[in-house]
Amino acid sequence: MFGKKQKKNYYDKGTNLFWLDEAEPEYSIYDFDNYRYHKGPNVQVGNIYPAMYAKTFFDGMKEEGHEGIINLVRSAWAGSQRYGALVWSGDIDSSFKSLRNQFSIGLNMGLAGIPWWTTDIGGFHGGYPDDPSFRECIVRWFQFGAFCSVFRLHGDREPHSEPLGTSGGGLRDSGADNEVWSYGEEAYNIFKKYMTIRENLRPYITKLMVEAHQDGTPPMRPLFYDFPKDKEAWDIEDTYMFGPDILVAPIFYEGERSRKLYLPEGQVWKDVNTHKTYEGGQFIECSAPLESIPVFLREGSELSVNLLKNKNITSLRGVRKWIISKI
């Protein structure tokens, strides 16, 4: 049954998409044998918790006649996708190491049957907007995020401000600025570029989401998903396909300005950044200046290289107006 408080205070007032935080059993002491639920001990039923959490809202919204239900949820388990779970990977560390972990998590989530997945771009815990090292990390994360199932910026930045009051919500301090214009002009221009790319890809991404809804096809997937006969593709763990036509090679290490990558055989691939074409079935060394990551288009696709360029927004005021127009 849809909670009376949620219905009265949110749904009836027009809220039809929920951010369901802490959607897993969270304890101060992780001694799982000691915790019991109606259905049994945590060691037997704990993983059901996030799926049932999502189902609670799904069933209630469905009962209210809502269609196309989807909610942002912090945890998931097998079957959560039935209940409109758009999963994010939780309150993660703000570091390149964490970025590398998110890459693996996203691909595995898709293969596990949960296609709608996202991450806090830049990580959640820590990260100083004025720190050059963190600026590089969030830039690389943002570039990766533009080619994820869901593209979103979130995080608890440092340093925190002082609390605004002595009671209620005023007791809590607040993180530092985390808008795209909070990281300096160089980072802002890169963010702007990849926001425009994402917007240009909207029709392509819409098709990917339809496929995900109809048959569970993950929008982001390992190379072997699209190229199962290519033996080399099964061993590639640092490059992926975003749909059938876009190959993405993120940058995972601080200071890295080039990287080796594999292009699947049986195809001709066009480098979006240089317009050079390459026969598949080979490893190549690819340049990766801070402003771009290696991205390739499969020849014969309907996508144009121009869709992955940024020539539309030229000022800070322009990007603010552009963001507001999309809300």
Same domain, 232 and 164: no
| Residue 23 pLDDT class (50, 70, 90 cuts) | confident
Express each pLDDT in 75-85 by its tens digit: 999 999 999 99
Same domain, 159 and 304: no
Of 172, 205, 238, the position where a domain reaches its end is: 205
pLDDT of residue 316: 42
Same domain, 160 and 67: yes
Encoded tokens for 282? 């080979």
Same domain, 39 and 167: yes
pLDDT of residue 309: 65
Same domain, 125 and 87: yes
Q: Please calculate the CA angle 38-44-48 and round it to the nearest 5 degrees.
A: 70
Residue 78 domain flag: yes
Residue 320 domain flag: no
Same domain, 226 and 197: no
Residue 316 domain flag: no
pLDDT over 90 (residue 169): no
Same domain, 120 and 68: yes
Across the range 252-258, mean pLDDT stands at 97
Same domain, 242 and 100: no
DSSP string, 98-163: HHHHHHHHHHHHHHTT---EE--BT-SB---TT-HHHHHHHHHHHHHHTTSSS--B--BEEEEEPP
DSSP string, 40-79: EEHHHHTTHHHHHHHHHHHHHHHHTT--S--EEES---TT
Residue 319 domain flag: no
- Candidate list 24, 131, 186, 232, residue with the active-site label: 24
Same domain, 121 and 264: no
CATH number for the domain harbouring residue 273: 2.60.40.1180
Give the DSSP letter of residue 93: B
Coarse DSSP helix, strand, coil percentages of the chain, rounded to the nearest 5 percent: 40, 20, 45
Are 110 and 83 a contacting pair, CB within 8 Å? no
Same domain, 223 and 175: no
Q: What residues make up the domain containing 56?
A: 4-205
Q: Which amino acid is at 316?
A: L
Encoded tokens for 97? 């190491």
Which string of b and e fits 209-221 if b means at least 16 CB within 10 Å? bebbeeeebbbbb
Number of domains in the chain: 2
Residue 108 domain flag: yes
- Bridge partner list, 282: 263
Q: Residue 255: left (phi > 0), alpha (psi -120 to 50), or beta? A: left
Same domain, 200 and 267: no
Express each pLDDT in 24-63 by its tens digit: 877 766 677 778 888 888 888 888 889 999 999 999 999 9
Annotated catalytic residue 91: yes
Express each pLDDT in 89-113 by its tens digit: 999 999 999 999 999 999 999 999 9
Which string of b and e fits 42-72 if b means at least 16 CB within 10 Å? beebbebbbbbbbbbbbebbeeeeeeebbbb
- Least confident range from 24-33, 165-174, 187-196, 268-277: namely 24-33
Same domain, 195 and 290: no
Residue 272 domain flag: yes
Phi and psi torsions of 235, nearest 5°: -105, 0
Of 205, 239, 257, the position where a domain reaches its end is: 205
CATH number for the domain harbouring residue 81: 3.20.20.80
The whole model's pTM is what? 0.89
Annotated catalytic residue 21: yes
pLDDT of residue 310: 53
| Residue 207 pLDDT class (50, 70, 90 cuts) | very high
**Residue-averaged pLDDT of the chain:** 89
Residue 96 domain flag: yes
- Candidate list 12, 21, 26, 63, residue with the active-site label: 21
- Bridge partner list, 71: 85
Residue 327 domain flag: no
